[in-house]
C-alpha cells in the first residue's frame, strides 16, 4: 500500500470550499436520574472538505456524543446541523438514514463486521442497502478489495481475519459509498501497534484523497497526527488547534 | 434494497443458525402437517360418505310409508296405509319416471345342498340394476312381470355365490330361502361395503314374493328414478300428488337424494373445518416458537441492527429484514409440513389403502399461506422492536 506522506499538506486540502459540516450552538443533554448531563453544551464547529480532525478529551467529555451527532445517529436538543449546507435537524428518521448512507462513513473500535458474512459481503453491505445493481456492486467491491490489499481474503469470514484486516474491511465498508465524511471512533483501539499504524496510514491516505476525516481517540499519538485537533471537556470544545499552530 | 438481496441476506442468516432455524420451523412443520392431514382425512371421510350415498345416483327419490306428524286424533291418523306394489306400478306410469324399485328388505337363511348362509334379502323389481347401478356379472336379473305373480327366481351377490357354491356355477341351481324354493338366474358383480352393509352378501328376489316371505303388508320403500329432463322438486310434487290421490292423504315421506346429499355434505364440511381448526392449535404453538426465536434474535443482533442503521439502513429496511426472516422460517416449516404430510399420506396409501385420506389442494395451499401468515404475525412485534432500536444504543451493545 503506497502511503502519502502525512505531513505534506497537499494543496487540494487547503483550498477551503463550503464547509462539509457546520454545527451551530448544538446542545445535547441527557437526564441521569435527577441530574442533567450536558454532553454537548452550545458546541459550534465547521469542518471543511478534506479536513483531518482529531477529537480528544477525557471520558464523558462529549466526544462520542459529538460523533453521534455528526453521524446523524443522534439528534441535538437545540442548535442547527448543516450537512453540505443543508439543515438536518428536522429531517425524518428515514431521510437521515438516506443522508448517512450517501454522505457518512463509520469506523468503529470493535469493527462491527457481520460475523456470517465474508469480507467481500461486509464491504458490499452498504451497496446492497442502497439498492445498487449486483454487477456494479461486484465491480466496486473488487476494486475496493484490491485497494485494501484484501483480494486474497475476500471470501474469509471476519473470524478468519486478523484485527488489522478486519478494521480494513470495516474501512472498506465505510467508504464504499464514497462518503464525504468519515467518522472513526477509536479506530486503532483494539489493534496492535503495527496493525494500528497500517489502519492509520489507510485513513490518512483516504483523507489525502479528499475525504473529511474525524477521529475520536484517547491515543495522544494518534490525535497529534491530525492537522486539526479538538480537545473537549465537559461538553465544550476547549481548544481547537490547527496544524500550523502545533509544534510537532 | 432489492428483493433478491433481501432474500439472500435472510437465507444467509437462517443458514448460519441452522439448528435454531430447524427447531423453530419444526413447530410450524408439525402444525401444518397436522392441519393438512386432518383436513385431508376430513375431506376423505366426506368424499367417502358422499360416494357411498351417491353411488345410486342423484336423481332418486325414496318414498317411505308413514309421516312424522304430531296430530291430535292419534287413533285415526296413525292408521297408515302401506305402500303397495300397486302404488309402485302406478308411479311407473308417471311422466319422467325412468325406473321404480319397490323394496322389501329382510334377513334370512339361504340353503344350498348342505350349506346354509345368513344373508340380507332384498325384494325388488326388474328395474333394480338400472336404478341402483348394479351390474349383473353372470346370467341375468329378475324378469319383468306384469300383474301376475312373479316366478320364484333369485339373483345372488358375489359373496353368496363364492360361499355357497364354492366354484360351482350357481346358474339354474335351486336354493331355499326361508323355506321357499328359488332358482338362481344371475349373480351381481362385486359391489363392496356400504356403511357396514356387505352389498355382496345379499340375495335379490321379486318384491311380491318377499312380501309373502316376510309376511309383510306393504313395501318398506319405493325408489323412483326420474329422468334428467326434470328436477327433484317437480318430481317430489308430482309423486306426492299421485300418492295422496291414491291414499287419500299424505301418509308417506319423500326423501330426495340431493336433499340428503346437500345436508350430509354441509355437515361433513363443517366437520372437516372443525378438525382443521383443532389442528391449527399446533400451528399457533409453532407461531409462538417463531415469536420466541425472533425476539431472542433481535436481542442478540442488537449491535448488528445498530450497524445497519449507521450504514444507512432505514427503519423500514430493518423491519423488512426481520419480517422476511420470520416469514421465511415459517414458510420453510410450512413446506416441510406438507412434505411430512405427503410422506404420511404415501405410507397410508401403501399400507392402509382404505384409510380415507384425500389431500385437497386448496386446503394445502391455504395451509401453506397460513404458515407464511403466521410467520408474518409472529414476526411483527420483534421486527418492530428491531426497527425502533436507537442506533446509538444498539451500536454500544456488544
The whole-number pLDDT of residue B178 equals 83
Residue of A nearest to B3 (CA): A131
In terms of DSSP H, where are the helices of B148-231? 158-160, 207-213
What would the grid cell of residue A32 be? 441521569
Task: List pLDDT tens digits, range B178-208.
Answer: 888 999 999 999 887 776 678 889 999 999 9
Residue B256, φ and ψ in degrees, nearest 5: -90, 145
The domain A17-243 is placed in CATH, from the list 3.20.20.70, 3.40.50.300, 3.30.360.10, 1.20.140.10, at 3.40.50.300
Query: Could you say which of B5, B304, B309 has the minimum Cβ distance to residue A128?
Result: B5
Assign B56 to helix, strand or coil.
Answer: coil
Q: Which of B310, B317, B386, B396 to mutate to test the interface with A (most CBs of A within 10 A)?
A: B310
ipTM over 0.85: yes
What would the grid cell of residue A171 be? 474501512
CA B207 – CA B83 distance, rounded (Å): 12
CA B25 – CA B378 distance, rounded (Å): 12
What would the grid cell of residue B245 be? 290421490
The whole-number pLDDT of residue A3 equals 42
Query: What does chain A come to in residues?
Result: 248
Q: Is the pLDDT assigned to residue B263 strictly greater than 90?
A: no
CB < 8 Å to B325, chain A: none
Task: List pLDDT tens digits, range B135-172.
Answer: 899 899 999 877 678 889 999 999 999 989 988 899 99
* Strand bridging mode A52-56 / A228-233: parallel
Q: Cβ of B303 under 8 Å from any chain A Cβ? A: yes
Q: Cβ of B319 under 8 Å from any chain A Cβ? A: no
CB < 8 Å to A102, chain B: 312
Query: Which of A4-13, B55-64, B107-116, B256-265: highest mean pLDDT?
Result: B107-116
CA B87 – CA A248 distance, rounded (Å): 125
Closest C-alpha to A45, from A64, A69, A13, A29: A69
Residues of A at the B interface, defined by Cβ within 8 angstroms: 68, 71, 73-74, 93-94, 97-98, 100-102, 106, 108, 110, 112, 114-117, 125-126, 128-131, 134, 173, 177
Closest C-alpha to A209, from A16, A54, A4, A55: A4
The whole-number pLDDT of residue A2 equals 43
The shortest C-alpha distance from A9 to chain B (Å) reads 30
The shortest C-alpha distance from A18 to chain B (Å) reads 24
Q: Which helix (H) or strand (E) holds B86?
A: helix B85-92
What would the grid cell of residue B170 be? 350357481
pLDDT tens for the 248 residues of chain A, in order: 444 444 444 444 444 567 899 999 999 999 888 899 899 999 999 999 999 999 999 988 999 999 999 999 999 999 999 999 999 989 999 999 999 999 999 999 999 999 999 999 999 999 999 999 999 999 999 999 999 999 999 999 999 999 999 999 999 999 999 999 999 999 999 899 999 999 999 999 999 999 999 999 999 999 999 999 999 999 999 999 987 654 44
Assign A64 to helix, strand or coil.
Answer: helix
Assign A88 to helix, strand or coil.
Answer: coil
Amino acid at each position: 500500500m503506497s502511503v502519502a506522506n502525512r505531513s505534506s499538506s497537499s494543496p487540494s486540502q487547503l483550498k477551503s470550499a463550503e464547509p462539509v459540516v457546520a454545527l451551530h450552538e448544538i446542545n445535547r443533554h441527557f437526564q441521569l436520574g435527577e441530574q442533567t448531563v450536558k454532553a454537548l453544551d452550545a458546541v459550534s464547529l465547521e469542518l471543511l472538505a478534506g479536513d483531518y480532525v482529531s477529537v480528544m478529551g477525557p471520558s464523558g467529555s462529549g466526544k462520542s456524543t459529538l460523533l453521534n451527532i455528526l453521524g446523524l445517529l443522534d439528534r441535538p436538543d437545540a442548535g442547527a446541523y448543516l450537512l453540505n449546507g443543508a439543515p438536518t435537524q428536522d429531517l425524518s428518521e428515514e431521510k437521515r438514514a438516506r443522508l448517512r448512507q450517501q454522505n457518512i462513513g463509520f469506523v468503529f473500535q470493535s469493527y462491527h463486521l457481520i460475523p456470517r458474512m465474508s469480507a467481500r459481503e461486509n464491504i458490499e453491505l452498504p451497496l446492497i442497502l442502497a439498492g445498487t445493481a449486483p454487477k456494479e456492486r461486484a465491480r466496486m467491491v473488487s476494486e475496493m478489495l484490491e485497494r485494501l490489499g484484501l483480494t486474497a481474503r475476500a471470501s474469509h469470514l471476519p473470524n478468519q481475519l486478523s484485527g488489522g484486516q478486519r478494521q480494513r474491511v470495516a474501512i472498506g465498508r465505510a467508504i464504499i459509498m464514497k462518503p464525504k465524511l468519515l467518522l472513526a471512533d477509536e479506530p486503532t483501539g483494539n489493534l496492535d501497534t503495527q496493525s494500528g499504524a497500517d489502519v492509520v496510514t489507510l485513513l490518512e491516505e483516504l483523507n489525502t484523497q479528499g475525504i473529511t476525516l474525524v477521529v475520536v481517540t484517547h491515543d495522544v499519538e494518534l490525535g497529534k497526527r491530525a492537522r486539526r485537533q479538538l480537545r473537549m471537556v465537559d461538553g465544550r470544545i476547549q481548544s481547537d488547534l490547527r496544524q500550523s499552530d502545533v509544534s510537532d | 434494497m432489492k428483493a433478491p438481496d433481501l432474500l439472500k441476506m435472510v437465507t444467509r442468516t437462517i443458514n448460519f443458525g441452522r439448528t435454531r432455524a430447524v427447531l423453530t420451523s419444526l413447530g410450524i412443520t408439525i402444525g401444518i402437517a397436522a392441519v393438512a392431514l386432518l383436513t385431508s382425512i376430513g375431506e376423505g371421510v366426506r368424499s367417502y360418505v358422499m360416494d357411498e350415498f351417491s353411488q345410486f345416483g342423484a336423481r332418486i327419490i325414496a318414498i317411505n310409508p308413514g309421516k312424522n306428524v304430531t296430530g291430535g286424533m292419534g287413533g285415526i291418523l296413525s292408521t297408515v296405509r302401506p305402500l303397495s306394489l300397486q302404488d309402485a306400478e302406478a308411479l311407473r306410469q308417471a311422466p319422467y319416471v325412468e325406473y321404480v324399485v319397490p323394496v322389501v328388505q329382510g334377513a334370512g337363511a339361504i340353503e344350498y345342498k348342505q350349506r346354509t348362509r345368513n344373508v340380507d334379502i332384498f325384494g325388488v323389481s326388474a328395474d333394480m340394476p338400472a336404478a341402483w347401478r348394479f351390474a349383473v356379472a353372470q346370467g341375468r336379473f329378475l324378469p319383468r312381470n306384469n300383474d301376475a305373480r312373479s316366478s320364484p327366481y333369485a339373483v345372488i351377490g358375489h359373496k353368496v355365490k363364492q360361499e355357497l357354491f364354492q366354484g360351482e356355477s350357481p346358474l339354474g341351481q335351486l336354493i331355499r330361502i326361508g323355506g321357499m324354493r328359488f332358482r338362481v338366474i344371475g349373480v351381481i358383480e362385486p359391489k363392496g361395503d356400504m356403511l357396514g352393509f356387505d352389498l355382496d352378501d345379499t340375495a335379490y328376489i321379486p318384491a311380491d314374493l318377499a312380501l309373502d316371505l316376510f309376511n309383510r303388508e306393504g313395501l318398506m320403500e319405493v325408489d323412483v328414478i326420474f329422468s334428467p329432463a326434470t328436477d327433484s322438486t317437480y318430481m317430489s310434487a308430482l309423486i306426492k300428488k299421485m300418492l295422496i290421490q291414491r291414499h287419500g292423504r299424505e301418509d308417506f315421506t319423500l326423501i330426495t337424494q340431493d336433499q340428503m346429499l346437500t345436508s350430509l355434505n354441509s355437515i361433513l364440511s363443517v366437520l372437516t373445518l372443525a378438525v382443521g381448526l383443532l389442528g391449527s392449535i399446533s400451528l399457533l404453538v409453532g407461531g409462538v416458537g417463531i415469536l420466541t426465536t425472533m425476539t431472542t434474535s433481535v436481542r442478540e443482533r442488537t449491535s448488528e441492527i445498530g450497524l445497519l442503521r449507521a450504514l444507512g439502513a432505514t427503519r423500514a429496511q430493518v423491519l423488512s429484514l426481520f419480517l422476511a426472516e420470520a416469514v421465511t422460517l415459517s414458510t420453510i416449516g410450512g413446506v416441510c409440513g406438507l412434505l411430512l404430510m405427503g410422506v404420511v399420506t404415501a405410507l397410508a396409501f401403501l399400507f392402509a389403502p382404505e384409510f380415507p385420506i384425500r389431500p385437497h389442494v386448496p386446503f394445502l395451499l391455504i395451509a401453506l399461506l397460513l404458515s407464511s401468515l403466521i410467520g408474518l404475525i409472529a414476526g411483527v412485534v420483534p421486527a418492530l422492536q428491531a426497527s425502533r432500536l436507537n442506533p446509538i444504543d444498539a451500536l454500544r451493545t456488544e
